[in-house]
Structure 1
Amino acid sequence: MPILYVHGVNTRSREGFFAIEPLLRRHVAPEISKDPDRVFIDDYYWGDRGVKLHWDGASRPRTQLLGKGFGQTPEDILTRSLVVDENRKVLEKYPPPAAAARDDEGLLSAPGGSKPVAARDMPPLTALTSEQLSDLLAGLIAPAPEDVEPVGDEEARAHGAARARLMQAADDVARDPATQVALAGQTPELQVEILIQLVRDKTSQADPLAGKGLDDWWNGLKERLDEALDRGEDRLGYAVSVVLAELRPTLNVLVSNFIGDVFVYLHGRDDPKSHPGEIQKGLVDKLKLAHARKLEDENEPLVVLTHSMGGQLVWDSVSSVLASDAATKDIRVDFWCASASQVGFFEEAKLFLASDLKHRTGFPVPFPHANLGVWWNVWDHNDVLSFTAKDICAGADDEAYSSGKSLISAHGGYLERASFFRELGKKIRAAKQTEFKTA
């Protein structure tokens, strides 16, 4: 009953896996086994084989500023708050304008003597659903991409496990009906205080040592939540009208490492001397191990979760590599979730081993039934590096998922949400009813 995770581009540490492993065990393992603690959960780490920039990224131009604004729906409170938090380092360079004087009607005098605008206050946390509150806390707990440094497995395991405990505690608190009772009727500022204390108490209950010596961190989390809600509420139009992010440096790193990792994979795969390449060979070895575990556990399902470029690796395997070798032709991935997927785009570009020009508009790529049961393809409207596979690959269960993140961080936002793993569990439960078969 194995679960295998395959990461995507720009990954140089296993910390991400160690952070999601408890979420997989909590929300996915119970769907495939009566004894979720026994489920074998593993990852295929190939980041050490990715691109290495020999001038340390000197080819990436440096920055100018860009911005983005939002509407006023309750869902936008979550989105605005997360985006403001993502860009807090940039916003520190641009202090919000001084508050204008209120008149007797509670209106703020707009700059330049223009028509007054209604005074805005920090939105209450009770404006969010429990799921949105969970996602907001998860987004604040997750480190910024630039803060994740390459570390050894031991340190990565410790960091990832600590992150997972915090995310689970935050999710439990957000979804506990007692939390809404505790927050009801309080000012937004006091709601933040109460929420942080509830998460802190829950974390300490799960691990008495987890909350010790982290006073600065808890205070920092409170300040980030305060600021994210305050600035995200668009005081005097600040978060909408001024620049929110220095996008260029972050996107430079993401895109250059994305392109680099893709080229490294394709070069090794397509070189006759190394075909199908070290990265693909490593994945096949992991699938062999997972398949053996599956057979040991009375043929319980094999589940694979991929992120980003990991999806291309798996598609090459299930659509070509596994079937081409007698030693692997019987391996079957029962359920595959491709998050932040680019499989549809790569097939449009005919970059897969099994790509064939006869498959085009009106003639989708056939589903690889021999080596794959069910495929859930997930992408985010805000994730510029994710793509739909609808009408391109037959049989794909293709859906959008909103992480609430901006284009800076949406690419990794899927796996920072307990809500995503709950949905993954539901999808597996439904697939189980059809014996993991795609029509």
Structure 2
Amino acid sequence: MPLVHVHGIDNRTPQDPEHVAVRDALYRQHVLAALGCDQGKTRVWSPWWGGLVAEPAWDWASLDLAGMERLGGAEDASAADAAVLDVAAQAGAAEPDRVLIAAAATSLQWAIDIVCGSLVGTEDELREGATFCGRATAYWAEHSDTGMRGDGPAVFPWLAEVTDDTELLERLSTELETWRPTEKTNIRTCAAGWETFGVASGVPRAARSVLRRLNSSAARAVTRGGAALLRGRPTRRLALLLGDVMGYFAQRDTAENSSIIALMSEAFDEAVGHAQQHGEPLVVVAHSMGGNIVHDLLSHFRPDLHVDLLVTAGTQIGLFEELKLFRASDRLLTGAGGQKVPALPNVSRWLNVVDPADPLAFAAAGVFAGAEDLNFGTGAWWAHGGYVTSPYFHHRLALRAAEGER
């Protein structure tokens, strides 16, 4: 079964192969398994469009404030607030071997997501680590009713017995070895993925390696603080966000078939051919700016392409349509009288995932007919970049995908 993943901003090449390996393993283990894919025929396409956007002509000189003369006045008014957050961050960093314990005190799934997002190792080790995290997520979901019955030590009393992060992972591994999913949990979404990738007894090596990476920056994530949020200086990532968005639209509007659209068309054509060859559905997952590009592709440039399941996460499609930024946008069509943009005839199902903590995620169902908005709440300040390496995201997505197959 083919799946096309379309990335968002700040991706020039596969700069983080570990992130990609974990992401693709989670796709295979969850949503593709839920749709009944043949694991031996599964393939994930990742067209890297970011490298086709112009690079900065002065090597980011616009970000350099060194030597700049002060206009005058007091120091940045946010400095005091930033100091408060620094204290909170240091409180989490004071015990670096208890970062996961601190997270699990609020939510065991939070700790699992931190592990999965930090996995390191070979491709096989990463797959094994992702499988471990996926099974742990199903264990958490069953025991807590996906958090509805509570979380942390109140639901998992053994959390109060562990004294450091190594012990936490060891105990979680023991719990998983003795746990057997119920019929409700053991749908094909999870079981097929676990059987395919397998998990040896004990904590996978890739998960153990996480403990060496959890430093003060990870502790800041656990405390949900981080003074950088209040220090409003533009960063290279923010600059790339602006540059990639404007660069895509400038390129798209100067040529009917831009190099980005051409790259996307090629990847989609290959994926469609693979789907037809094996008689399987085509799944497309688009993150952030990738969702806007995919909408342009399917609504204007390549309406001949058919997608069985489109998943958009942390995207701005609803906002961009309200602003009439797409090539297919009709400026005469507004929300007056309850009107919506007609559903794309070449997309069988569209799930739009929004984390309320993600400032770059927008709803789509109020604008587009056929769009299903799904709330995926994490409350995390890193929400925008955390969708595709979160096993909980993949677990919930697989359940929704399976519902569409019934």
Q: TM class, shorter-chain normalised?
A: 0.7 to 0.9
Shift of 1:6: 0.6
Match of 2:205 in 1: 211
Structure 1 position 253 matched with structure 2 position 246: no
Match of 1:73 in 2: none
| SS in structure 1 of the partner of residue 387 of structure 2 | helix
Deviations 1:377-433 (Å, cap 9, x if unpaired)?
112211111111132111100122113311xx2111111211111121122222234
> Take 1:256 and 1:269, find their aligned partners in 2: how far apart are those partners?
20
Alignment of 1:382-401 (within 5 A): 382-401=357-376
Structure 1 position 170 matched with structure 2 position 153: no
Contact kept in structure 2, 1:125 and 1:192, CA below 8 Å: no
Contact kept in structure 1, 2:2 and 2:283, CA below 8 Å: yes
Q: Which amino acid aligns with 2:241?
A: F
Corresponding residue to 1:289 among 270, 276, 287: 270
Q: 1:390 to 1:215 in 2, by over 3 A?
A: closer
Q: 1:160 to 1:317 in 2, by over 3 A?
A: farther
Q: 1:7 to 1:176 in 2, by over 3 A?
A: same
> Take 1:182 and 1:193, find their aligned partners in 2: how far apart are those partners?
20
> Take 1:61 and 1:181, find their aligned partners in 2: how far apart are those partners?
49
Deviations 1:105-161 (Å, cap 9, x if unpaired)?
xxxxxxxxxxxxxxxxx9877755xxx4233232255359xxxxxxxxxxxx96776
Q: Which amino acid aligns with 1:401?
A: F
Corresponding residue to 1:313 among 268, 275, 293: 293
Structure 1 position 368 matched with structure 2 position 344: yes
Contact kept in structure 2, 1:18 and 1:161, CA below 8 Å: no
Contact kept in structure 2, 1:193 and 1:222, CA below 8 Å: no
Contact kept in structure 1, 2:30 and 2:395, CA below 8 Å: yes
Q: 1:217 to 1:373 in 2, by over 3 A?
A: closer
> Take 1:182 and 1:345, find their aligned partners in 2: how far apart are those partners?
39
Shift of 1:200: 8.1
Shift of 1:372: 1.1
Aligned-residue identity in percent:
23
Q: Which amino acid aligns with 1:169?
A: F
Shift of 1:287: 0.9
Deviations 1:355-378 (Å, cap 9, x if unpaired)?
111121232211111x21111111
Q: Which amino acid aligns with 2:388?
A: L
Match of 1:99 in 2: none
Contact kept in structure 1, 2:104 and 2:110, CA below 8 Å: no
Larger-gyration structure (1/2): 1
Shift of 1:57: 2.7
Structure 1 position 264 matched with structure 2 position 247: yes
Shift of 1:309: 0.7
Aligned residues: 354
Shift of 1:169: 2.3
Corresponding residue to 2:398 among 401, 414, 425: 425
Q: Which amino acid aligns with 2:132?
A: A
> Take 2:92 and 2:111, find their aligned partners in 1: how far apart are those partners?
23
Q: 1:420 to 1:185 in 2, by over 3 A?
A: closer
Q: Which TM-score applies when normalising by structure 1?
A: 0.68
| SS in structure 2 of the partner of residue 372 of structure 1 | coil
| SS in structure 2 of the partner of residue 416 of structure 1 | coil
Match of 2:68 in 1: none
Deviations 1:71-114 (Å, cap 9, x if unpaired)?
xxxxxxxxxxxxx9xx89x9459998xxxxxxxxxxxxxxxxxx
Q: 1:181 to 1:56 in 2, by over 3 A?
A: same
Q: Which amino acid aligns with 1:349?
A: L
Contact kept in structure 2, 1:5 and 1:17, CA below 8 Å: no
| SS in structure 1 of the partner of residue 340 of structure 2 | coil
Shift of 1:207: 9.9
Cα RMSD for the two superposed structures: 4.2
Gaps of 5+ in 2: 66-75, 95-99, 144-151, 177-196
Contact kept in structure 1, 2:313 and 2:387, CA below 8 Å: yes
Shift of 1:182: 12
Shift of 1:266: 1.0
Contact kept in structure 2, 1:342 and 1:387, CA below 8 Å: yes
Structure 1 position 337 matched with structure 2 position 311: yes
Q: Which TM-score applies when normalising by structure 2?
A: 0.72
Structure 1 position 138 matched with structure 2 position 113: yes
Shift of 1:279: 0.4
Match of 1:44 in 2: 47
Corresponding residue to 1:31 among 30, 34, 38: 34
Match of 1:276 in 2: 257
> Take 1:95 and 1:422, find their aligned partners in 2: how far apart are those partners?
30
Shift of 1:24: 0.6
